[in-house]
C-alpha cells in the first residue's frame, strides 16, 4: 500500500492541474487497507480497529447459481471474481474504499475440489488488486445450486458517505464509462444456447469484450472513492439494475424527477458495432436498461461539473453528463426534439 505522500505524488503526476492538486490532498486521506486487523482468519470472529476520522460501510450480496450465474458460462474464477466485485461496487457507490471481505460459500458435493480453489483464486485476484483483506467466512455443502455470499466492509471519510437521497432540482446527472455491453454479453451467451447465428455475425472483439464485461466486471473503486472524498456528489449509486432503474432509485429516495438527453448517453462501442454487424438491437434502449454494468451514476451541482469530470478522468475513467434533475416527478428522455416518459420496468436477473 503506498503512503499518503506517494498517493498524492501519483495523482499529481497524472493530473497536473491546480484543482486536481487540491482534491488529491483529500484523496490522500485514503485508509490503509487492512491495517486495523487485530484478529484475522481462523478464529471465531475477526477483530479490527476502525480508523479514527472514517465511517465504516458494510454491505453484502448473494449470488446463486441459475439466478446470477451459470457454471457452464462462467469459470469458477469468474464466479468468485464477480461475486466479490458486485459487493465492492456497492462500497464504491457510497464513495468508500473497500478494506475487508467475508465470504460464505455453499457447494454441491459433486463439485470437484478444484472448483473451490479456483473460485477463491478469482476472489483473491480481485482482493489483491484492491488491497482488500479477506478476514472471514464460512463454507457448507449445498443440496442444490452453488451459493456465494460476499460481505465487504469499507471506509469513507467521516460524514462523507454519498447516499441516494441528496439529489436536488438543477443538479446535473453523470455516468462513468459506457453502457450496454453487459446486456449484449448476456444476450450473446443466451443466444449461443439456441443457435450460433448472432454470435457468428458479431466481430470477435465485440463478442469477447461484451461477454467479459458481463462475466467479469471491474468495480470502479478509485472513481467512487475519489468522488466521495471530494465531497462534490449530491447522490450516487452503481448501475446494477440498469441506468433507468438505478436512476429511478435516486429519484425516489431524493423525491425528484429527471430529464435525460438521449444523445449524451455514452453507448458502448461494442454495442454500436454489433448493431452495424446486423444484430437487431436498439443501442440506446440497451444502454438505458443494461444491468450489471457496475458503472457509477451520480449527481452534482452544475458549478462542480468540470472539477468532477477532471477528477474521474484522473483516476482512469470518464464521466459523461447525461441530463438534469428536475422538480417534476418522473423520468423523461429528450430525443430528436421530442420528450417522452421512460417507463421503468426494473431488472430481473435471468439466465
Ligand atoms: Mg448498488
What spacing in Å lies between the alpha carbon of 90 and ligand 1's midpoint? Answer: 5
What spacing in Å lies between the alpha carbon of 334 and ligand 1's midpoint? Answer: 26
Three-point CA angle 177, 134, 60, nearest 5°: 60
Q: Which three three-digit cell numbers place residue 247? A: 436512476
* pLDDT, averaged across the chain: 88
Query: Given its phi and psi angles, is residue 35 left (phi above 0), alpha (psi -120 to 50 degrees) or beta?
Result: alpha
What spacing in Å lies between the alpha carbon of 314 and ligand 1's midpoint? Answer: 23
Q: What's residue 30's pLDDT?
A: 45
What spacing in Å lies between the alpha carbon of 111 and ligand 1's midpoint? Answer: 30
Q: What's residue 43's pLDDT?
A: 76
What spacing in Å lies between the alpha carbon of 239 and ligand 1's midpoint? Answer: 7
10 pLDDT above the threshold of 50: no
Q: What's residue 35's pLDDT?
A: 63
What spacing in Å lies between the alpha carbon of 86 and ligand 1's midpoint? Answer: 8
Q: What's residue 350's pLDDT?
A: 65
List the beta bridge partners of residue 60.
151
What spacing in Å lies between the alpha carbon of 201 and ligand 1's midpoint? Answer: 34
What global pTM score does this model have?
0.88
* Residue-wise pLDDT tens digits, 245-283: 999 999 999 999 999 999 999 999 999 999 999 999 999
What spacing in Å lies between the alpha carbon of 349 and ligand 1's midpoint? Answer: 14
- Distance in angstroms (rounded) separating the CA atoms of residues 93 and 164: 9
Contact 176, 266 (CB under 8 A): no
* Residue-wise pLDDT tens digits, 96-131: 999 999 999 999 988 887 888 899 899 999 998 998
What spacing in Å lies between the alpha carbon of 249 and ligand 1's midpoint? Answer: 10
Strands 296-300 and 47-48: unpaired
Strands 257-261 and 319-326: antiparallel
* Residue-wise pLDDT tens digits, 25-50: 444 444 444 567 777 777 788 888 88
- Distance in angstroms (rounded) separating the CA atoms of residues 157 and 137: 27
What spacing in Å lies between the alpha carbon of 94 and ligand 1's midpoint? Answer: 9
pLDDT top residue among 1 and 109? 109
What spacing in Å lies between the alpha carbon of 59 and ligand 1's midpoint? Answer: 9
What spacing in Å lies between the alpha carbon of 248 and ligand 1's midpoint? Answer: 13
Contact 112, 146 (CB under 8 A): no
Amino acid at each position: 500500500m503506498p503512503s499518503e505522500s506517494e498517493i498524492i505524488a501519483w495523482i499529481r503526476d497524472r493530473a497536473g492541474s491546480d484543482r486536481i492538486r487540491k482534491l488529491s490532498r483529500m484523496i490522500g486521506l485514503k485508509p490503509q487497507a487492512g491495517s486495523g486487523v487485530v484478529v484475522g482468519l481462523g478464529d471465531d470472529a475477526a477483530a479490527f480497529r476502525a480508523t479514527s476520522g472514517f465511517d465504516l460501510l458494510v454491505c453484502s450480496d448473494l449470488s446463486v447459481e441459475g439466478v446470477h450465474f451459470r457454471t457452464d458460462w462462467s469459470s469458477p474464477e469468474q464466479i468468485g471474481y464477480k461475486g466479490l466485485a458486485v459487493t465492492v461496487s456497492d462500497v464504491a457507490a457510497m464513495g468508500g474504499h473497500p478494506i475487508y471481505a467475508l465470504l460464505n460459500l455453499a457447494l454441491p458435493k459433486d463439485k470437484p475440489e478444484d472448483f473451490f480453489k479456483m473460485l477463491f483464486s478469482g476472489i483473491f485476484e480481485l482482493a489483491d488488486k484492491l488491497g482488500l483483506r479477506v478476514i472471514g467466512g464460512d463454507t457448507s455443502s449445498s443440496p442444490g445450486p452453488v451459493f456465494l455470499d460476499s460481505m465487504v466492509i469499507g471506509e469513507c471519510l467521516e460524514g462523507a458517505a454519498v447516499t441516494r437521497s441528496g439529489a436536488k432540482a438543477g443538479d446535473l446527472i453523470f455516468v462513468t464509462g459506457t453502457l450496454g455491453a453487459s446486456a449484449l454479453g448476456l444476450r450473446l451467451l443466451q443466444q449461443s444456447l439456441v443457435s450460433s447465428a448472432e454470435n457468428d455475425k458479431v466481430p470477435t472483439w465485440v463478442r469477447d469484450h461484451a461477454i467479459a464485461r458481463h462475466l467479469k466486471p471491474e468495480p470502479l473503486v478509485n472513481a467512487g472513492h475519489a468522488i466521495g472524498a471530494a465531497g462534490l456528489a449530491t447522490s450516487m449509486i452503481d448501475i446494477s439494475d440498469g441506468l433507468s432503474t438505478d436512476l429511478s432509485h435516486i429519484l425516489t429516495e431524493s423525491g425528484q424527477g429527471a430529464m435525460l438527453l438521449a444523445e449524451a448517453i455514452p453507448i458502448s462501442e461494442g454495442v454500436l458495432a454489433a448493431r452495424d454487424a446486423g444484430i437487431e438491437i436498439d443501442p440506446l434502449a440497451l444502454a438505458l436498461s443494461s444491468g450489471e454494468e457496475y458503472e457509477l451514476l451520480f449527481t452534482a451541482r452544475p458549478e462542480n461539473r468540470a472539477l468532477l469530470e477532471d477528477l474521474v478522468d484522473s483516476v482512469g475513467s470518464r464521466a459523461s453528463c447525461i441530463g438534469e434533475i428536475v422538480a417534476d416527478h418522473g423520468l423523461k428522455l429528450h430525443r430528436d426534439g421530442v420528450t417522452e416518459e421512460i417507463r421503468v420496468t426494473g431488472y430481473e436477473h435471468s439466465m
